[in-house]
């Protein structure tokens, strides 16, 4: 971990990192988390998912609010369950765009089962915890979380109730001004995950479910566009007291 | 000793509603010679282009402080305040001519402070508030003129001091200094027009200070909130890094805007925090 990052604990053994709050130069921030599925079933399109991530982050640089974004990227798969982060590996904690080098993003290596609960719990839980610390110091904060997966929950430490509670806490307005959670399903060729993920969205209280269809290069490019536009819309909404305008997802 | 400084300014409800610009301005930072500075200015609502006037007032003061502190020790030279304000006024006159402005465009108050690790020097011309936080508590020095007609440095530039004196002619003590101190209680000192025109200044040992803030009088015009509480809340910094004053002001305005008119007048403040370590 670099010197300007500090580590935080969420609960149930989950941890994350974020830029040292005392070093932050702006007065308000949009927190962004992108969680990427790294289970075995993505093994045919690992490179496309990485390219999508890079395209989404690069597009954020042209946002007028780019200086007010703090981005965290995680990947999830049961191969990480034995490590500290349960089924989650943090590629980087909340940091400003200027400190992100997209060339450092690792190549994904699909393997293991899908700890979807762990990914959402880590994503939203870390955001709530970090936002809490920022709000304590008078920062104005909102957030957006993307979870990109090709399959439903099958191997988490975190329970559905834990996920539900964190999501509920994120939208009460007590921590962040607003928070939007988006579950994005991609088709790994079998297509069975669509209904399962749609149900998962309802069960946990995730705001939006988008079925992106087959993980082709073109569709993932559109997905990157959707992610960056949603981030931009969320950062524009900061200070208004309300949620961002929904970006229509035609992927 | 190290310093952190920050400043912020916001348009008030009245100017926002009437499509007028924010006539307050504030600035802070550290000069190359290591002195920290804070400056605020409030443009006169019934003047001309005083949104520009208050900005020019602040920028001219900053430049005057840079120049004068490079040639004399401002904490030892008894003429330092006069030299700074004279240089500021000379610069203002140059700006006025270059930009073809009227004197009424320059009608703006001026509050400034500079700090070294030994001393802090504060000067006020016009009205506003100086808040001094020490180990002994918070002291709030409020300065106001009758009829809300403060003295502006631009009157001297335009050689209209005599008109100003005439305006306040029938009032023996139109300028008032009110001190609210957690340490020494409340004190009010009425002053004559001439005393008020020469402003107020103080030199304090920096080692005694935790923070020092200069406010325009907008802090006295928060709907349903007294200025003492407003100042206390704006001085309650949770941290003193980054844009700490901006964050505190934003949170404060968010809270006071939830009921009533919030900040009725433009509001600004600039702060120096002193860290002994």
Query: Which residue of A22, A23, A139 is in closest CB contact with B247?
Result: A139
Reported as half-sphere exposure (CB side, CA atoms, 13 A), residue A2 has a value of 12
Are B247 and A138 inside 8 Å of each other by CB? yes
Identify the residue among B8, B236, B250 best suited for mutation to test binding to A, counting A beta carbons within 10 A and taking the highest.
B250
Domain B2-124+203-275 has what CATH class? alpha beta
Predicted local confidence at residue A88, as pLDDT: 94
**What would the 3-class secondary structure string for B47-58 be?**
CCCHHHHHHHHH
**CA-to-CA separations, B20 to A95, B24, B261, in angstroms, rounded:** 39, 12, 16
Nearest to B32 by CA among B57, B6, B69: B69
Mean pLDDT by 10 residues, chain A (251 residues): 79 91 94 95 88 93 92 94 79 96 94 94 97 95 95 90 95 88 87 88 95 85 91 90 70 63
End-to-end CA distance of chain A: give it in Å, rounded. Answer: 36
Are B247 and A22 inside 8 Å of each other by CB? no
Q: Which residues of B touch A27 (CB under 8 A)?
A: 242-243, 246-247, 250
Helix B244-256 with B227-234: angle, nearest 10 deg: 140
Query: Which residue of A22, A28, A136 is in closest CB contact with B241?
Result: A22
Distance of alpha carbon A210 from alpha carbon B199, whole angstroms: 65
Nearest to A118 by CA among A80, A68, A61: A80
**pLDDT tens digits for B71-80?**
999 999 999 9
Distance of alpha carbon A129 from alpha carbon A106, whole angstroms: 26
Query: Which residue of A25, A136, A140 is in closest CB contact with B242?
Result: A25
Is the interface score ipTM higher than 0.90? no
Tokens of B147: 């009829």
Predicted local confidence at residue B276, as pLDDT: 84
Predicted local confidence at residue A43, as pLDDT: 85
Predicted local confidence at residue A1, as pLDDT: 46
Predicted local confidence at residue A198, as pLDDT: 94
Q: Which residues of A touch B254 (CB under 8 A)?
A: 140
Tokens of B254: 């968010």
Distance of alpha carbon A19 from alpha carbon A28, whole angstroms: 14
**What would the 3-class secondary structure string for chain B be?**
CEEEEEEEEECCHHHHHCCCCCCEEEEEEECCCCCEEEEEEEECCCCCCHHHHHHHHHHHHHHHHHHHHHHCCCCCCCCHHHHHHHHHHHHHHHHHHHCCCCHHHHCECEEEEEECCCEEEEEEECCEEEEEEECCEEEEEEEEEHHHCCCCHHHHHCCCHHHHHHHCCCCCCCEEEEEEECCCEEEEEEECHHHHHCCEEEEEEHHHEEEEEEECHHHHCECCECHHHHHHHHCCCCCCCCCHHHHHHHHHHHHHCCCCCCECCCEEEEEEEEECC
Distance of alpha carbon B233 from alpha carbon B21, whole angstroms: 26
Predicted local confidence at residue A3, as pLDDT: 47
Are B242 and A26 inside 8 Å of each other by CB? yes
Predicted local confidence at residue B91, as pLDDT: 98
Tokens of A40: 């075995």
**CA-to-CA separations, A56 to A33, A34, A52, A227, in angstroms, rounded:** 12, 10, 6, 6
pTM of the model: 0.89
Q: Which residues of B touch A140 (CB under 8 A)?
A: 247, 250-251, 254
Q: Which chain A residue is nearest to residue B237, measuring alpha carbons?
A: A137
Mean pLDDT by 10 residues, chain B (277 residues): 96 95 98 97 96 98 98 97 98 98 98 98 98 96 96 95 90 95 93 96 97 98 96 96 96 90 96 91
Predicted local confidence at residue A155, as pLDDT: 86
From chain B, which residues contact A within 8 Å (Cβ)? Answer: 238-239, 241-244, 246-248, 250-251, 254
Question: What residue ranges do the domains of chain B occupy?
Answer: 2-124+203-275
Nearest to A78 by CA among A123, A39, A35, A119: A39
């Amino acid at each position: 971990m670099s010197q300007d990052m500090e580590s935080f604990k969420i609960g149930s053994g989950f941890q994350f990192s974020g830029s040292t709050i005392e070093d932050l130069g702006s007065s308000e921030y949009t927190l962004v988390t992108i969680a990427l599925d790294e289970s075995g079933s993505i093994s045919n399109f690992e490179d496309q998912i990485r390219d999508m991530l890079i395209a989404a982050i690069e597009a954020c640089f042209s946002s007028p609010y780019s200086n007010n974004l703090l981005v965290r990227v995680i990947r999830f798969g049961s191969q990480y369950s034995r490590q500290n982060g349960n089924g989650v590996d943090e590629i980087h904690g909340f940091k400003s765009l200027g400190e992100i080098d997209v060339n450092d993003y690792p190549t994904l290596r699909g393997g293991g089962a899908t700890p979807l609960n762990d990914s959402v719990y880590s994503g939203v839980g870390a955001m709530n915890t970090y936002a809490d610390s920022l709000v304590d110091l008078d920062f104005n904060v909102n957030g957006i979380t993307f979870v990109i997966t090709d399959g439903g929950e099958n191997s988490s430490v975190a329970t559905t109730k834990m996920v539900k509670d964190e999501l509920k806490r994120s939208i009460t307005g007590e921590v962040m001004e607003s928070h939007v959670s988006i579950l994005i399903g991609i088709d790994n060729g079998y297509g069975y995950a669509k209904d399962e993920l749609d149900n998962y969205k309802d069960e946990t209280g995730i705001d939006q479910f988008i079925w992106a269809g087959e993980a082709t290069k073109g569709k993932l490019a559109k997905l990157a566009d959707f992610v960056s536009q949603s981030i931009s819309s969320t950062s524009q909404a900061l200070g208004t007291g309300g949620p961002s305008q929904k970006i229509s997802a035609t992927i | 000793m190290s310093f952190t400084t920050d400043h912020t300014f916001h348009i008030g409800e009245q100017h926002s509603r009437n499509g007028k610009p924010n006539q307050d301005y504030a600035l802070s930072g550290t000069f190359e010679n290591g002195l920290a500075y804070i400056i605020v200015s409030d443009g006169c609502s019934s003047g001309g282009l005083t949104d520009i006037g208050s900005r020019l007032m602040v920028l001219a003061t900053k430049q005057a402080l840079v120049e004068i502190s490079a040639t004399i020790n401002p904490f030892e030279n008894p003429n330092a305040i006069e030299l700074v304000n004279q240089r500021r006024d000379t610069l203002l006159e140059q700006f006025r001519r270059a930009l073809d402005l009227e004197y009424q465009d320059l009608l703006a108050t001026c509050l400034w402070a500079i700090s070294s690790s030994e001393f802090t020097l504060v000067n006020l011309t016009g009205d506003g508030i100086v808040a001094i936080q020490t180990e002994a508590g918070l002291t709030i020095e409020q300065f106001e003129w009758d009829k809300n007609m403060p003295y502006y440095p631009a009157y001297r530039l335009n050689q209209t001091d005599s008109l100003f004196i005439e305006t306040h002619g029938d009032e023996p003590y139109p300028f008032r200094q009110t001190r609210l101190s957690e340490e020494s209680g409340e004190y009010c000192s009425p002053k004559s027009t001439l005393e008020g025109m020469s402003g107020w200044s103080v030199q304090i040992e920096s080692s005694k200070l935790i923070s020092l803030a200069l406010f325009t009088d907008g802090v006295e015009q928060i709907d349903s909130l007294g200025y003492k509480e407003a100042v206390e809340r704006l001085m309650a910094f949770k941290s003193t890094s980054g844009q700490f004053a901006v964050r505190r002001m934003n949170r404060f305005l968010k809270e006071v805007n939830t009921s009533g008119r919030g900040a009725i007048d433009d509001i600004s403040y600039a702060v120096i925090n002193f860290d002994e370590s």
